[in-house]
Amino acid sequence: MKSHTKPERPLVRIFSQKNKQKFTDYLQTSNFDDVFFDNDANTAYNKFITIVQIGFEHSFPFTRLSRAGAKDKAWITTALRKSSKIKSKLYKKWLQTKD
């Protein structure tokens, strides 16, 4: 008896313009006073990194990769995907007109 379990789609971060703006806004509204007024460089660095990491996790959360994205091979780029769509449209047009 064969088991047909589908592999689970991986988790990815989406770096869209909206999420990038969310990250920028978070950093602009964050309070860095603890970092600036700390006398120990290592402690100040750790506080800074913590603020940035929290903002990063909040702005770019892990989301499940779409089914279509999970089917694509690693070598399929956005340019290839776009070219393929254009080729398909031209082929459909050719089938109708034979020109």
Taking CA atoms, 24 is separated from 17, 29, 36, 45, 52, in Å, by: 10, 9, 19, 19, 10
d(Cα 73, Cα 60) in Å, to the nearest integer?
A: 23
Q: Report d(CA 67, CA 72) in Å as an integer.
A: 9
Mean pLDDT score of the chain, rounded to an integer? 88
Overall pTM surpassing 0.75 (yes/no): no
Q: What tens digit of pLDDT does each residue of 62-94 get?
A: 998 887 777 777 788 889 889 999 999 999 999
